[in-house]
Amino acid sequence: MIGAIGELPPAPSLYLKLTKALSDPNAPASAAATLVAQDPVMASKVLRLCNSAFFSGGRAVADIRTAVVRLGQENLRRLVLASEVFSGSQTDNGIDREAMQLRALRASQLAGRLLGGSSAELAATAALLSDVGMLLPGIAIPKPGETASSDMPHYAEAGAYLLGLWGLPMPIVEAVANHHQPGKSRSRGFWVGGAVHVARALASGEAIDENYLDSVGLRDRLPAWRKLAADLDAAT
Domains parsed from the chain with CATH numbers: 2-235 (1.10.3210.10)
Q: What pLDDT sits at residue 191? A: 94
Other beta carbons within 10 Å of 38: 12
So what's the pLDDT on residue 1?
46
**Which tops the pLDDT comparison, 198 or 25?**
198
Highest mean pLDDT, choosing among 56-65, 179-188, 215-224: 215-224
Which contacts qualify for 224-231: CB closer than 8 Å, 24 or more apart? 225/114, 225/198, 226/202, 228/110, 228/113, 228/114, 229/110, 229/199, 229/202, 229/203
Q: How many CB atoms lie within 10 A of CB 179?
A: 29
When mean pLDDT is compared over 50-59, 131-140, 153-162, 207-216, the highest value belongs to 207-216
State the Cα–Cα distance between residues 195 and 74, nearest whole angstrom.
Answer: 18
The answer to whether residue 90 scores a pLDDT higher than 60 is no
Sequence-separated (6 or more) residues with CB below 8 Å from residue 167: 11, 16
Name the 3-class secondary structure at 83: helix
pTM, two decimals, is 0.81
Where do the DSSP E strands lie in 20-74?
none
